[in-house]
Structure 1
Amino acid sequence: MRKIAPALCFALAACNSAGPAPGPMAAAPAPGASAYANLPAGVSPPGFRLPEGSGCSGAVARYHAMMDNDLNSGHVSQSVYDRIKVEIGQASAACQAGRDGEAEAMVRASRSRHGYPQG
């Protein structure tokens, strides 16, 4: 058993090794402002879906799409959107630099700061 323990430690360490940072995901294009033109305030266009994906790139893409939707549907003012967009940009830069944990924490902090539940 004592001879197996070091080998097991190395095997488990390999599971947690830092690999290359995931590249930015190609997010589904967000509906343009014109898609909201004939809708009542607060309503998303038919077929609106949040981007899928994992890790920091998925979290950044979903938060960005959510904020674009909230701006276009009238849930958030332009000034608040502009502040959040800067925060999303900072999280995206951290993600692209391979700082996944930091990027995801930045998204969580921004969502909390602006009243968006974690999802």
Structure 2
Amino acid sequence: MTVATLRAAFAGLAVLGLAACQSTSSEPPAPQPVAAAQQPSYVTRPDFRLPEGAGCTGELARFRAVMDNDLATGHVNREVHGRVMADLRGPEAACAAGRAGEASAGLRAVKQRYGYPS
């Protein structure tokens, strides 16, 4: 075979390959149906703000807000959220009784148990 024949053969194959990529359908694809149930957004709302506050009261309020946000965005399910809230009762009672050190240690233990940074 000559070089000219090889070039013509490759050009013909390229044209056939490109022609196979062309769509012959004139109808656009049908839109996908929207799910009826509301799915979690997995993104924190832009108006989300952590609560202010000092000491153990502020720490506990901020962690509760993080957990509520994680539930709303689907990062934790209702069962885990409920367990975390139940586990926070001890640190909250200690904080209310003026035992800030015990409350902070309890909060740190809850965070570690569920994989949150302390």
8 A contact 1:42–1:73 mirrored in 2: yes
Matches of residues 35-114 of structure 1 in structure 2 within 5 Å?
Answer: 41-114=41-114
Question: Using the alignment, how far apart are the partners of 1:72 and 1:90 within structure 2?
Answer: 24
8 A contact 1:63–1:88 mirrored in 2: no
Between 1:65-74 and 1:87-96, the stretch displaced more is: 87-96
8 A contact 1:39–1:45 mirrored in 2: no
TM-score, scaled relative to structure 1:
0.63
Q: How many residues align?
A: 82
8 A contact 2:40–2:72 mirrored in 1: no
Q: Render the CA deviation track for 1:46-101: whole Å, top value 9, x for unaligned.
A: 11011122211011101101100001110001111111001122211110011111
Larger radius of gyration: 2
Percent identity of paired positions between Structure 1 and Structure 2: 51
Question: Using the alignment, how far apart are the partners of 1:45 and 1:39 within structure 2?
Answer: 14
Question: Using the alignment, how far apart are the partners of 2:116 and 2:75 within structure 1?
Answer: 12
After the TM superposition, which segments of 4 or more aligned residues of structure 1 sit over 3 Å from their partners?
Answer: 37-40
Question: Using the alignment, how far apart are the partners of 1:113 and 1:89 within structure 2?
Answer: 15
Question: Using the alignment, how far apart are the partners of 1:40 and 1:98 within structure 2?
Answer: 38
TM-score, scaled relative to structure 2:
0.64
Partner of 1:117: 117
Structure 2: stretches of 5+ with no match in the other structure: 1-36
Which one has more relative contact order, counting CA pairs under 8 Å at least 6 apart? 1
